């Protein structure tokens, strides 16, 4: 079976894995994304995590097709470095692809994390084969990727643009981008934590599942803003389906029920039939999508 190594670099956590040609992750690990201004600690941590996985593959007589790297932020034209992301400033302009090729002596390919996530959904997930697919990932930040007729939309930063920074409430909370009331500022993990009195998102989700009314309300309010944001994006891309992934998507229907209600309240009639689903990958869609750069690439 063909396999690829994959890395998904997020603002808070970085995920590393080995993925088979069926989209199944056979090995996985999570590390904390260092906040240092120097990118080398992150490179060292990824190397220390991925190397044993590659060694185990070699011992079994297998070799990955390459290493796919998903990273939050805009990429340069040849997809060798991330050039813009307020949540990952240490990596801006850093020759990420070149450094990994030197470290591992394998072909490496770089992709925007929102693109990787929507590719995973298109190839193996809840948006499989949908001709016009919008995928959003919600975590430390909020990003979105778009596939139209089998091809990724790449018009800004090698992706569909910074979809998380459409402004939903001009009087809303400040966003890391410098604006106020962006979709990211209202829907990200920080927004949930703020609504729940500073609790960690994982605790909020677990408490909501146990029936804690304050946690349920925090997730429902987040879902309402998410639905408004998706309704605002739909006229731009006319998706047939929308997938919601990332760490916050672990809330499942606690988030999505109110998101769907809000979406249908605000969306134009021409977008009313759009299907909104959660990801099947439990936050690992970036790893699967990064592996698809070698296993099932989308142009």
Q: Are 71 and 88 in contact (CB under 8 A)?
A: yes
pTM: 0.93
Res. 163: pLDDT tops 90: yes
Helices (H), 210-297: 213-237, 253-266, 285-295
In the numeric block, which tokens belong to residue 242? 């929308």
163: Cα within 13 Å, side-chain hemisphere: 32
The model's confidence at residue 12, banded by pLDDT at 50, 70 and 90, is confident
How do residues 67-121 score in pLDDT, each as one tens digit?
999 998 899 999 999 998 887 888 999 999 999 999 998 999 999 999 999 999 9
* Structure confidence at residue 181 (pLDDT): 97
- Signed CA dihedral, 12, 18, 21, 24: sign only: negative
Strand order across the 25-32 sheet: 25-32, 13-20, 3-9, 67-71, 108-112
DSSP state of 197: T
- Range with lowest mean pLDDT among 43-47, 60-64, 113-117, 247-251: 247-251
Which residues does 57 contact at the CB level (< 8 Å), separation at least 6? 3, 18, 63, 64
In the numeric block, which tokens belong to residue 52? 């044993």
* Structure confidence at residue 236 (pLDDT): 94
Instruction: Identify the structural domains of the chain with CATH numbers, from first to last.
Output: 3-115+285-295 (3.30.420.40), 129-278 (3.30.420.40)
DSSP percent split of the chain into helix, strand, coil, nearest 5: 40, 25, 35
Query: Coil, helix or strand for 57?
Result: helix
């Amino acid at each position: 079976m063909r396999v690829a190594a994959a890395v998904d670099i997020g603002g808070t956590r970085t995920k590393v894995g080995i993925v088979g040609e069926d989209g199944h992750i056979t090995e996985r690990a999570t590390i904390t994304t260092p906040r240092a201004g120097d990118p080398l600690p992150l490179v060292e941590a990824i190397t220390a995590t991925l190397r044993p996985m590659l060694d185990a593959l070699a011992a079994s007589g297998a070799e990955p097709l390459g290493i796919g790297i998903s990273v939050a932020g805009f990429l340069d034209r040849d997809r060798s470095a991330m050039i813009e992301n307020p949540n990952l400033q240490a990596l801006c302009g850093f020759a990420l692809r070149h450094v990994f090729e030197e470290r591992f002596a394998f072909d490496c390919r770089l992709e925007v994390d929102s693109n990787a996530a929507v590719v995973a959904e298109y190839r193996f997930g809840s948006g499989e084969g949908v001709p016009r697919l919008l995928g959003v990932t919600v975590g430390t930040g909020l990003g979105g990727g778009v596939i139209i007729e089998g091809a990724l939309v790449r018009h800004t930063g090698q992706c569909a643009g910074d979809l998380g920074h459409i402004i939903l409430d001009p009087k809303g909370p400040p966003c890391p981008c410098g604006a106020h009331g962006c979709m990211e500022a209202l829907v990200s993990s920080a927004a949930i934590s703020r609504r729940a009195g500073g609790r960690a998102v994982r605790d909020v989700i677990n408490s909501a599942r146990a029936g804690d009314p304050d946690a349920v309300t925090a997730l429902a309010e987040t879902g309402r803003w998410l639905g408004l944001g998706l309704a605002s994006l739909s006229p731009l891309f006319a998706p047939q389906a929308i997938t919601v992934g990332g760490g916050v998507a672990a809330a499942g229907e606690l988030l999505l029920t109110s998101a769907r209600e809000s979406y249908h309240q605000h969306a134009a009639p021409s977008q009313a039939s759009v299907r909104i689903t959660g990801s099947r990958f439990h936050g690992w869609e970036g790893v699967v999508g990064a592996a698809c750069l070698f296993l099932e690439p989308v142009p």
